[in-house]
Structure 1
């Protein structure tokens, strides 16, 4: 008998009919002899509707009260799913994040899980019930309700799997796995049977929206195998785990595209120590994530510092940087929003050269200019014109023959090292 955690997103529970579909899937797992815990998101667009509702009352609500309202979306989902299971004759019990033992810290709208005291959930499972847990929420040490921000339900599910010592964490969504690229951009994309934590983390961080980076980080830290599957059929999806098939022959696992980017240039920065530190310290204090960074050398003792930030952070970045530009004596602040980031990711890059050259060759063949380049051990990212993103994605995908089975990549086979990390559980 296995312990299984299943997570269903808002689309999967977006109507009463879909809630019953989920209930039947959950019940089938329970009837197969497994102990099943389920994490659900709010129904459909409920969270957006709740945000709008609060904004109709106040354009500047406190984070505490906003969190109080937003947390109700998942509470509706868990109660409805538990009720549907009971109607089908399957014992079930719902839990809010706080009732399930999710302990958080941080601001009310972007908290992090620091403990998962899953005693009540374990008791429900041992008593033959399906435990339904609200994603996206928890409570701090003072009992204040907090929400986890983007990817909160995925993170809740993986953390619950770690706390229960579950055999797997199944993330059910409206796609049936992790693909080499978003099939909406390149219809020939191939579904991966498995991918490593590090590869998935890079893809998620670079714009792939199948899993949130926080959930992948939690899975890696606690050695939780994540199975990304479709909530609309029973086919196998993609396993995200600590190591992949050592003989798979894959150098590139996937391509991520991100249109939510803005390029910022601080022009005419004095060429002396501490200037870059002052700029990025201010951005860090404002909690703005900076991605691609380039410093270009200019004449007469000045440099230009270029970098990208998420489009959502543009207004905050502008307000943060304008006084800094004047303070350090830079010439001007330039902002360009019609850009996009495209990244290739693969563990095989560590031991194989030529990937960067191939990527640049594919872009050059399409006459696509590269504005900024950034790399890690297993990733290469380029900033390009937003209008050429789909052309770039198709060209790179075709160049590396990623429309074929991943093992058929046109770069020689690779041998990746074993993942020797120490597994730690959540108490």
Structure 2
């Protein structure tokens, strides 16, 4: 029988009533002739509780034991889901990561999936099992220890299973009914998209859209796994949700598909840096080693051998960046007069594969912001994205204005 992967997040399985609702939805797909692999997250709030317990028990904890504790939330959900399906007389069993096995790297709390051999699950399907309920977010290291994939890892687990098992599709059930042209909480005119290209979804996910985890979209694009984003709380119909697919499967699209934003951004500027070969490596090497996620980078024109270097990063990483740069000064790798950190900015991005073939999008975007009296601090572009840093107080105004400018509330 064809295989379908269905992933349910924490809010979808938050209590026994919701687990029963999810089980009924799984039962519909079994009745439609699918063998189903269900990937489940921990019940809403449970992972945070477990993380808190670890922190209280051992502030300087062993990462291997941390993974053993926090992965247990998914195990509970998987067992309860399997029991619920069995009560519905659907042949089902639960699987923990090590039982599949989901083979990962040894990077505890941030492991990467290396391989998922399909033999064990496919053998059980051949014996009559109809649903494999798999604990998401977890795997097993080469050393035989439980590992976790980092927050949002259940999305990645689901896509990896779809690729490994040759699934027809991977359905991601969340608390939203699809991917929108922007955040409906900011713009009431936001429109749900029927389809979106992998590259567009990847940009939107990396730029702040919380619908899908970035790693899961990367994996889907690499293995051409069709992803569908659906709501756990609404009745489904044909064509429900948003399909994330190859660009070739989208007949026609607007130049701009969506407006994304990230509220918690910081702009950091190194003033009067020595302008010499290798200075960029000397600055951004230590930042990388410190785990600072640098995004936009601008270097000003050099005057008398000195220049200013500006970059953006998440506000939560500002202190880490400051320590890394101070350490680089102390070791003599770089020198600058002072460091200016602006933590009151937001990043706004226009995303669309149509930008490849149509010019003028940047000019239109900048004109719109100018008309609203919004000053642009930093600009960065790629083939299908234009991002700007602006004062955070103008974030919602910018999103609404750009959404209107590009007519994203209209189809076609």
With the length of structure 1 as denominator, give the TM-score of the two structures: 0.92
Check whether the contact 1:194–1:244 (CA below 8 A) recurs between aligned residues.
no
Deviations for 1:277-317, whole angstroms, at most 9, x for unmatched residues? 11111112223221011111253321111111123323322
1:129 paired with 2:130, answer: yes
Corresponding position of 2:318: 314
Corresponding position of 2:116: 116
Q: How does 1:7-406 map to 2 (within 5 A)?
A: 7-126=7-126, 127-233=128-234, 234-235=236-237, 236-245=240-249, 247-326=251-330, 327=332, 328-405=334-411
Distance in 2 between the 1:47 and 1:140 partners? 21
With the length of structure 2 as denominator, give the TM-score of the two structures: 0.96
**CA RMSD, Structure 1 to Structure 2 (Å):** 1.3
Distance in 1 between the 2:110 and 2:318 partners? 19
Alignment length (residue pairs): 406
SS of the equivalent of 1:21 reads: helix
Deviations for 1:148-173, whole angstroms, at most 9, x for unmatched residues? 01320000000000011000000000
SS of the equivalent of 1:169 reads: strand
Distance in 1 between the 2:265 and 2:253 partners? 33
- Report deviation, 1:365: 1.2
Q: Which moved more, 1:88-97 or 1:12-21?
A: 88-97
Distance in 2 between the 1:260 and 1:104 partners? 31
Judged with a 3 Å threshold, the aligned counterparts in structure 2 of structure 1 residues 68 and 169 are, in CA distance, closer, same or farther, namely same
Give unmatched runs, 5+ long, in structure 1: 408-427
SS of the equivalent of 1:69 reads: helix
- Report deviation, 1:244: 4.5
Judged with a 3 Å threshold, the aligned counterparts in structure 2 of structure 1 residues 189 and 379 are, in CA distance, closer, same or farther, namely same
Distance in 2 between the 1:117 and 1:161 partners? 12
Distance in 2 between the 1:287 and 1:123 partners? 42
SS of the equivalent of 1:267 reads: strand
Check whether the contact 2:106–2:143 (CA below 8 A) recurs between aligned residues.
no
Check whether the contact 1:169–1:226 (CA below 8 A) recurs between aligned residues.
yes
- Report deviation, 1:322: 1.4
